[in-house]
Amino acid sequence: MSRKPKILVVGSFVMDLIVKSERFPNAGETVLGLDYQTAPGGKGANQAVQAALLGADVTMVGKVGNDDFGRRLIASCQEAGVNTDYVGKHSTACSAIGNVQLEVQNGTTRNRIIVVSGANMEIKPEDVAFLKDIIDKYDMVILQHEIPMQINELVAKYAYDKQVPVMLNSAPSAPLTDEMLSRLAFISPNEHEAADLTGVPIRKDGKQVNMEDVKKAVEALLAKGIQNVVITLGNAGAVVANKEEFIYEPCIDVVKVQDPTAAGDSFVGAFTTSYCAGLSLKDSLHFANYTATLTVSRMGAQPSLPKLEEVVALMQRENDLTFPLSALDGLK
């Protein structure tokens, strides 16, 4: 592709309130924390920012509250180069917040997140009706589950009717209609969300994953009419598959994990951007893994998302000779 890919993200904004401690508290217990910070996040906004930082032309559609968090969330997207002209401000609902707890213990970091959806759930059909006439200007539409399902279904129909591919990051886990699934060019659950959608539990032991379980889950999703399935497997890596290909890549374990928050969003933004830029499924998976690897080495959601030159630099540092770096020239 000679021009930068045009990506439309319809999704969520969330201000993350991040607390780090040596262990999670038990019920009724108080523990002293190590650190606290706020950081712009939200699955939709994270994916939009990541795609923009990697060189895509990104437009974001969503809703925030008419409050300080809302203004900061919009500003963070704008600073990354995301078009926020279609982001609304709700007059009474607050901007969404995410309570992010990080447990740092024995050199590892785990997270627990509670999201209060606020203005994200106030997006109405009339707020996205305009997309019906302009959605064919985009190379890909990215959706997630932090906004009303009715809105996702409507936008997916607009895109499907105009033959625009849709990437659904099916997180957090929620049931999906067969009609919605049949309109997807890509679905990207993690192993837990894939199990919820298919009824196929994916067994893992550390970094080892039962690949037969993964294949069964992929087959079940493809049978619903989805064209391509991307399943992220945490520290076990990720797969991308369709009826002709099944590609697995282990986790690129070359950094110290600081905060896994937004790693999945980073992966989705990078995969979509590279694929829309003309890379193969295999190379897009590889590029997305490197991008997410950088993300987990930093704190916060959007503050952790890397730029294109940082991902390229990591590949060069690791002497990765298998990836066609010249294929990224259109993103620069």
Domain-wise residue ranges, the chain: 6-13+43-95+121-331
Is the per-residue pLDDT at 207 higher than 90? no
Is the per-residue pLDDT at 136 higher than 90? yes
The reported pTM is: 0.93
Is the per-residue pLDDT at 260 higher than 90? no
Is the per-residue pLDDT at 286 higher than 80? yes
Q: Sheet harboring 246-249: ordered strands across?
A: 83-90, 57-65, 6-10, 140-143, 166-168, 186-187, 228-232, 238-241, 246-249
Six token digits for residue 219: 């087959």
* C-alpha angle 92-95-97 in degrees, rounded to nearest 5: 140
Is the per-residue pLDDT at 2 higher than 60? no
* C-alpha–C-alpha distance, residues 189 and 201, integer Å: 13
pLDDT of 3 = 66
pLDDT of 226 = 97
What's the count of helices (H) and strands (E) in the chain, helices before strands? Answer: 11, 15
Estimate the crossing angle of helix 281-296 against helix 263-276, to 10 degrees: 150
Q: pLDDT tens digit string along 7-27?
A: 999 999 999 998 999 999 999
Cβ 94 vs Cβ 121: under 8 Å: no
Task: Supply the CATH classification number for the domain 6-13+43-95+121-331.
Answer: 3.40.1190.20
pLDDT of 177 = 95
Q: pLDDT tens digit string along 52-93?
A: 999 999 999 999 999 999 999 999 999 999 999 999 999 999
Cβ 277 vs Cβ 331: under 8 Å: yes
Higher pLDDT, 201 or 105: 201
- Residue 265 bears catalytic tag: yes
Catalytic residue among 259, 265, 283, 320: 265
How does strand 6-10 pair with strand 140-143? parallel
How high does pLDDT run on average in the chain?
94
Of the candidate ranges 106-115, 116-125, 127-136, 308-317, the one whose mean pLDDT is the lowest:
106-115
pLDDT of 1 = 46
Of the candidate ranges 37-46, 52-61, 151-160, the one whose mean pLDDT is the lowest:
37-46
pLDDT of 82 = 98
Which range has the top average pLDDT, 108-117, 148-157, 206-215?
A: 148-157
CA atoms within 13 A on the CB side of 93: 18
Question: What torsion do the CA atoms of 64, 68, 71, 73 make, to the nearest 10 degrees?
Answer: -70
Q: What is the pLDDT confidence band of residue 287, given thresholds at 50, 70 and 90?
A: very high
* C-alpha–C-alpha distance, residues 285 and 114, integer Å: 29
Is the per-residue pLDDT at 212 higher than 90? yes
Cβ 42 vs Cβ 300: under 8 Å: no
